[in-house]
Chain A
Amino acid sequence: MTQQDNVWRRIAAGIGRPLLAIALALAIGLVIISIAGEDPIESYRALIGGAFVGRSNIENTLVRSIPVIASGLAVAVAFACGMFNMGVEGQLYLGAFAAAWIGFSIKGVPPLLHVLLAIGLSAAVGAAWAYLPAIARIKWGTSEIVTTMMLNYVAQYFTSYLVSFPFKEPGDLQQTPAIFSSAELYELSAASRLHVGLLLVVVFAAIIAFLLKRTALGYEIRMTGLSPSVSRASGINTDRTAIRAMLISGAIGGIAGAIEILGVHHRFINNFSPGYGWDGLAVSLLAKGNPIGILLSGIFYGGLQSGANIMEFATDVPKQLIDSLRAIIILFVAADFTGLKLLKAKPKLPSGSGQSGRKEVKTCGRNV
């Protein structure tokens, strides 16, 4: 009984904070919409209705959320190990191109095998792209935050080159030829293009949850993330663990791109991602890296996206307002307002302890 109470309390604590942040952001949005001279109630009705009411709206929301959830899972694995994979966007682009390439260049492969080949290569490419920053971090202490972020641009420009020159489909558009139908993911609904990738990300979330909570590797990843020194003392090879976590993270990042290409676009399109990798970071944060939470927050994010389109259509409120509200949600979830109390009690603390509440000494770029 008490154990059950604990579980519920933990769930409430996990959900309470994000919900509060969401409510706060929506309240701020309400004020902004009113100042802009629009009807906030009408706008929010369109937003929420457009996201979660009616079959086609729900399907659109889910389509939107698939790559975000996958990216979120990628971020979560690295984060569990105390590493920041800011390079999911780049891994996603490379994985997407790899999947498209398998899709359009190999003919006559049985459907399931074709999809598996494409996803396999994208995972390998994504992992390889994450390997360099991981190795540089472990061997020489180079901040992986900065290197992964810079490599995003390299990946994006590289795929952009591939799709503009060697693999460009004849015509005006910067896109590759379409993939063969054997490489397409099974479509669940023709109208919204909802595809079986939805089930895939659910399975992936379950696998990641199992990996982190129930396997030896997962235990080592989490221990390394909590305290590298304690982990080392207890015999965990933290270097190897961190590299494995980054490889898994990069592989999922690559798969996220593959799923989007094989499921929705059916070809690689230049700059196709509106920042799924970054959304994944936000979603992962909102869920505190919990895979099941990432499913929920990913769907919420997808809902905000597709709902914003409906809202813009139904009222005169530009959909970008929702991006601002998303930013406010992230900010409030990331903040630790217990710091407010700390501030009052501050004179008692040694003044150098400002950093100590932070989990993140290693992000400090210059000295690493």
Chain B
Amino acid sequence: MAGTFNLSLLVAAIRLTTPILLAALGGLFTQQANVLNIALEGMMLSGAFTAVAVSFFTHSWVMAILASVLVGLIMAWILGAFVVRFKALNVIAGMAVNLFASGFTAFLLRTIWTNKSEMTQGLVGIPDVVIPGLCNVPVLGELLSGYSFLVYISIVLVFVAQFVLYKTKLGLRIRAVGETPQAAASLGVDPDRIRLTSILISGALCGLAGAHLSLGALCMFTENMTAGRGFMAMAVIFFGDADPYKVAIGAFLFGLAEAISMRLQSVGLPSHFIIMIPYVFTVVSLIVVSINKMKAQTRKSSES
């Protein structure tokens, strides 16, 4: 009995990890380019709404996913234009994007549909993937098979992100601009362009994260349904020092904490401290990272 409890908890954790992971994979590119992106939440919410709206009108989940990515890109482009071109403080511009997404999706939700059942009737969700052969294996089947399509995509994307970041020219440029923009510029790389590109990548992946949330996990859209997951993704990025593998681990820990707190809630126990842990851990690890950096710096300067 205890075993199945644990297994289903793990399955729930994996489901809850995906939206955070997708958004964090996007955000780590802006982080590597040294652009603090607090708009993950808003871009994700826009993607979530778009997925539901497009699925409702076209009855195609593929179209819905593509449209979410597109809208994520558009939001990112607006953010990028204001941050990179018009020199708005990225914290402020990001906050505006979040506020806009939250207000405008709620506005459209109420303008397009009069009630919830009207919306959910026409929706085509993202299908679950049953892995043939594996689905009948007792433990592994339950653990690895039957998740929504984008769950698998998100795992593939961890490796893609790792590859792009460390093995391609674009990844090198993003990291270079993040570390020393002047040096990158002197080598003929336009830092603004790279920053904009990194913001666009984050937008596309946040769109995907939103699509998973609304059309993969729930098959409906509710107001502010991202519920802070974009900020969780931000925490995860800092937690994992913007490294794809570490970020994946961090995202899973957040997913696990969420799953455990849901369990506790369902039996009436206080779940608040469990859900708090990842945030506390992020703050602590941030401080530890900066202390280490400071130590390394003082060591370097004392050597020279």
Contacts and interface: CB of A to CB of B under 8 A. Distances in A.
Interface in A135-191: 136, 140-143, 145-147, 149-151, 153-154, 157-158, 160-161, 164-165
A210 to B, nearest CB: 27
B131 interface: no
Interface in A72-89: 84, 86
Interface in B73-117: 82, 84-93, 95-100, 102-104, 106-107, 110-111
Contacts of A278: 95, 99
Interface size class of A (residues with CB under 8 A): 35 or more
Contacts of B107: 32, 318, 320-321, 323-324
B283 A323 contact: no
B100 A328 contact: yes
A366 B286 contact: no
Contacts of B273: 157, 161
Nearest to B281: A150
A326 B100 CA distance: 8
Contacts of B222: none
A1 interface: no
Given A327-B97, A330-B95, A161 B185 contact: no
Given A149-B231, A153-B228, A154-B276, A136 B91 contact: no
Interface in B281-302: 282-283, 286-287, 289-291, 293-294
A356 to B, nearest CB: 9
A281 B95 contact: yes
A368 B272 contact: no
B60 interface: no
B238 A334 contact: no
Interface in A344-359: 350-352, 354-355, 357-359
Given A161-B273, A365-B238, A357 B102 contact: no
A157 B273 CA distance: 7
Contacts of A36: 111
B95 A165 contact: no
B82 A142 contact: no
Contacts, number: 184
A335 B102 CA distance: 21
Interface stretch (B2-10, B32-40, B155-163, B209-217): B32-40
B229 to A, nearest CB: 12
The main secondary structure of chain A at its interface with chain B is helix
Interface stretch (B15-23, B137-145, B174-182): B174-182
Given A140-B287, A154-B279, A320-B103, A161 B272 contact: yes
Interface stretch (B51-59, B120-128, B164-172, B186-194): B186-194
B185 A157 contact: no
Given A157-B276, A357-B87, A142 B290 contact: yes
Given A323-B99, A327-B99, A366-B34, A352 B238 contact: no
B195 to A, nearest CB: 8
B275 A365 contact: no
A164 B88 CA distance: 40
Contacts of B182: 352
A318 B84 contact: no
Among A145, A157, A323, the most chain B Cβ lie within 10 Å of the Cβ of: A157
A327 B238 contact: no
Nearest to A136: B287
B35 A330 contact: no
Contacts of A360: 89-91
Nearest to A326: B99
A320 B92 contact: no
A158 B276 contact: yes
A81 to B, nearest CB: 15
Contact of B86 (A132, A142, A143, A335): A335
A140 B34 CA distance: 18
A324 B181 CA distance: 34
Given A326-B103, A328-B100, A352 B185 contact: yes
Contact of A330 (B87, B96, B289): B96
29 contacts: A86-B91, A141-B293, A146-B286, A153-B228, A154-B276, A157-B275, A158-B272, A158-B276, A320-B102, A320-B110, A323-B103, A323-B107, A324-B99, A327-B96, A327-B97, A328-B100, A330-B92, A331-B82, A331-B93, A334-B89, A335-B88, A337-B86, A357-B87, A364-B35, A364-B36, A365-B238, A366-B31, A366-B178, A367-B34
| Nearest 5 Cβ contacts at the A-B interface | A323-B103, A327-B100, A352-B185, A161-B272, A320-B106
